[in-house]
Structure 1
């Protein structure tokens, strides 16, 4: 076996200089540089792409984080912020000559005010831990992504995460009041505040969903809401996915805003049921999960109204949770769809796009046709109420060409989302996964505006570089490539 090649002298000297600078800022246990120590950080939930970082820093305090960023800025070292690593678009994949900064050790709930209904937390606090801490006051934090048991609040801020209850209660953007962050220069910036509105430009909305490209979070103040006295879920079965998709629009058109409105097709139902035993109708072509919460009288009335709308829209069967345990079982199936995919396939590729609700049936038909085109199965689970799709493309990476086909399948789904008036991501972010799709959706002038925002926060482009926002050269090359392939139109400048 050949010995590993030694790094070039200049590269080795730079690495040692960087590590020496960082060792002066952190305790020894907060800096990892050996390959076996940095290996767990080589990717996030998008495991198809991996890269070892130069080192991993795990600051324990805001002061350490500020010092880290100042040093890296002076040394021109790229930074990749990382939460729990549950992201699915490669947003936390390291840079070879850069540092991963993990905020996992900054995991304290700093203050919880039941009267103001707010919690002030450090970036490494898990999403679910906020609700667990607030439960004693009959309060909770509403956004509930499927990874909420592990994902952190800073990661939620980076991706503007949603969850199964985002239709009624909103995304991270609607539930965060204030963010305290450190710029690449090591300076503290506070966005938002304790009031319902803050003076000046709404930079909080710019920062939420910016995928770690504008700053590193040190504190987040979130809004807490009262826990509803009662919640019940309808499981509605449909004989075909088209009818099920149309039923989603019928519920919203009836003036009903369910607490949650989720859809799963037959493939995903049969994939999940043996794993979770949620009580799903495995003979249905699709099921809808429709939740109502509030006072008992409100819930009873809304469940009755939704049941009538769903039956009128073509539901073949209706089942309503009769207890809190049964309600949780219904939701456990939906939330475990991703891990359950491993029962059917060695690998899967989870997509994320958003479309107008009225186009659900059309897009589902399009995805079914793509299964034939690419020779791969796809299980569809999604936040039907707000049109956020999560197709799970199943493949075997050990079979030559299957991963490439899965990627092309995913690109075609994103193109279809844009074609029907939607967008390429709802809550998973762009990262590295969808950076070419950005060129397919936005004009050169629009991408230039995004780059301008990035430059205003991080002029040296050291924070999470080469993620989320493509370069103009990349978009030009992508446009020419797709034009030759006859798939997409060339990306043109506005007015060109």
Structure 2
């Protein structure tokens, strides 16, 4: 086979997978509703190899797409068109660190949390912290513009990537961004971050690293009513306090977590819990934590407690970080959604989600970054029951419509991929979408690089999504 032989010449025989039984591992990412086999999988180890692979595929008009750890939740790494997958998992080096100037250069396959582990001994860390940070890669985070629990204060991935070496879909290698200061001219890096692998492949990424804060205070607040918890979030921000994180879980999510290995002991008769963290200089942090407690008490909190030890704080955070996986203890299948809303609309939107749950008969657990309004409703269902998978997908789409209706968006960090591609029409008119397609075509004129993702084409319509809903395939996943 010419393709396999060519790829083996570039990256070596051991770095090419083409046997059908081995390709099944790469048929989907965390969104498993629409699996599709790749033509082959190629695992380069450096920029030159990536560029050579892409040039060959471009010359032979063979479609391809980049893939990281496969933790994405929107199907961005699914080879819909028989693509060759360019897997970046072997490109996992920390290439250099400049502690004095707070910069690190990494390969895209470096696991997010591993960067912090490699520099923590010097007192530094990498701030973006998706719940899947122990397995997701920085290259994947760049593609999806991933967020995380601490993005309220520290921002999402785009706020921490300053430059990148980038392989265009024809194999040309360019440098974008600037290691220091703002780049001159158009912000190409800003366009690339969050482009979901449709514009090319980042092979070296320069990131900001941060000095660890002197002190951290973490509070756990339990509320009888979701409304009181939601009002507390707005009240904290309104008081001029910018916590590092404000996370919320509802009762169904708490039940799931307490059945896992991270048992906190949440009361079964409360509606919501907030995890609130403030950090910074040690001087004055005790006062900030005290103000957070006071605001909780002003909003009818049943119980609020500041962690008395690092072990207690770690338990609370582990229960939140593992909430997505824990839902598997209360439901055989679930779909994770990713809408964003204004903070002031939390109470209204959560009520509308509860109404959708009641009308559909499908339980919905809510776990989300309350501070920046990034919701993660988990729609629970049983794929063994005929029609429930399709119903769950429709419910997810209804939830996203609600987010847009109140002035929000259809995704905060999980991306559009194929899962939400038609929901892009909830936010954008045909002229807007045409402009985005035109921009993509500047980089990817032959549509060989991850085609069919992120932006719906004019030829597609909502009926396409309806047809996909009738496939009857499971759509459960893990957070990216």
Work out which of the residue numbers 157, 172, 178 in structure 1 matches 2:163.
Answer: 178
Deviation at 1:174, TM superposition (A): 0.4
Residues 451-481 of structure 1: per-residue CA shift (max 9 Å, x gap) = 0110111111111100011001224867999
Deviation at 1:424, TM superposition (A): 0.2
Q: Which residue of 1 aligns with 2:85?
A: 100
Residues 302-336 of structure 1: per-residue CA shift (max 9 Å, x gap) = 10111111211222211110111111111111100
The 2-side partners of 1:97 and 1:480 are apart by 22
Q: Which residue of 2 aligns with 1:146?
A: 131
The answer to whether 1:308 aligns with 2:302 is no
User: Residue 354 of structure 1: SS of its match in structure 2?
Assistant: coil
Change (3 A) 1:444 1:475: farther
Work out which of the residue numbers 337, 340, 344 in structure 2 matches 1:351.
Answer: 337
The 2-side partners of 1:102 and 1:312 are apart by 51
Deviation at 1:221, TM superposition (A): 0.7
The 2-side partners of 1:268 and 1:378 are apart by 9
Q: Which residue of 2 aligns with 1:86?
A: 71
Q: Which residue of 2 aligns with 1:444?
A: 430
Deviation at 1:80, TM superposition (A): 1.4
Change (3 A) 1:347 1:476: closer
Change (3 A) 1:135 1:479: closer
Residues 25-81 of structure 1: per-residue CA shift (max 9 Å, x gap) = 220011111011111111000112201111001111211111100011011111111
The 2-side partners of 1:264 and 1:454 are apart by 38
The answer to whether 1:420 aligns with 2:394 is no
TM-score (norm 1): 0.92
The 1-side partners of 2:103 and 2:11 are apart by 32
Q: Which residue of 2 aligns with 1:111?
A: 96
User: Residue 451 of structure 1: SS of its match in structure 2?
Assistant: helix
The answer to whether 1:64 aligns with 2:49 is yes
Q: Which residue of 2 aligns with 1:5?
A: none
Deviation at 1:421, TM superposition (A): 0.3
The 1-side partners of 2:288 and 2:267 are apart by 22
Q: Which residue of 1 aligns with 2:474?
A: none
The answer to whether 1:291 aligns with 2:277 is yes
Structure 1 contact 417–423 (Cα < 8 Å) conserved: yes
Change (3 A) 1:378 1:477: closer
Change (3 A) 1:407 1:21: same
The 2-side partners of 1:424 and 1:220 are apart by 27
Segments ≥4 residues shifted beyond 6 Å: 476-481
The answer to whether 1:366 aligns with 2:323 is no
The 1-side partners of 2:196 and 2:231 are apart by 33
User: Residue 127 of structure 2: SS of its match in structure 1?
Assistant: coil
Change (3 A) 1:36 1:360: same
Deviation at 1:231, TM superposition (A): 1.1
Residues 384-409 of structure 1: per-residue CA shift (max 9 Å, x gap) = 00000000111111111110110011
Which structure has the bigger radius of gyration?
1
Change (3 A) 1:478 1:274: closer
Q: Which residue of 1 aligns with 2:473?
A: none
Residues 140-160 of structure 1: per-residue CA shift (max 9 Å, x gap) = 000000000000000000000
Deviation at 1:278, TM superposition (A): 2.9
User: Residue 460 of structure 1: SS of its match in structure 2?
Assistant: coil
The 2-side partners of 1:19 and 1:475 are apart by 36
The answer to whether 1:321 aligns with 2:321 is no
Q: Which residue of 2 aligns with 1:332?
A: 318
User: Residue 389 of structure 1: SS of its match in structure 2?
Assistant: coil
Question: Tell me, which stretches of 5 or more residues in structure 1 are unaligned?
Answer: 1-15, 482-496
Deviation at 1:18, TM superposition (A): 2.5
Structure 1 contact 279–330 (Cα < 8 Å) conserved: no
The answer to whether 1:394 aligns with 2:417 is no
Equivalence map 1:215-294=2 (5 Å): 215-275=200-260, 276-294=262-280
Structure 2 contact 63–81 (Cα < 8 Å) conserved: no
TM-score (norm 2): 0.95
Residues 335-388 of structure 1: per-residue CA shift (max 9 Å, x gap) = 001110110011111111000000010010001011111111011000000000
Deviation at 1:300, TM superposition (A): 0.3
Deviation at 1:96, TM superposition (A): 4.1
Work out which of the residue numbers 38, 41, 60 in structure 2 matches 1:75.
Answer: 60
Structure 2 contact 214–282 (Cα < 8 Å) conserved: yes
Deviation at 1:119, TM superposition (A): 0.8
Number of paired residues?
466
Q: Which moved more, 1:311-320 or 1:354-363?
A: 311-320
The 2-side partners of 1:439 and 1:72 are apart by 32
The 2-side partners of 1:388 and 1:425 are apart by 8
Work out which of the residue numbers 14, 19, 44 in structure 1 matches 2:4.
Answer: 19
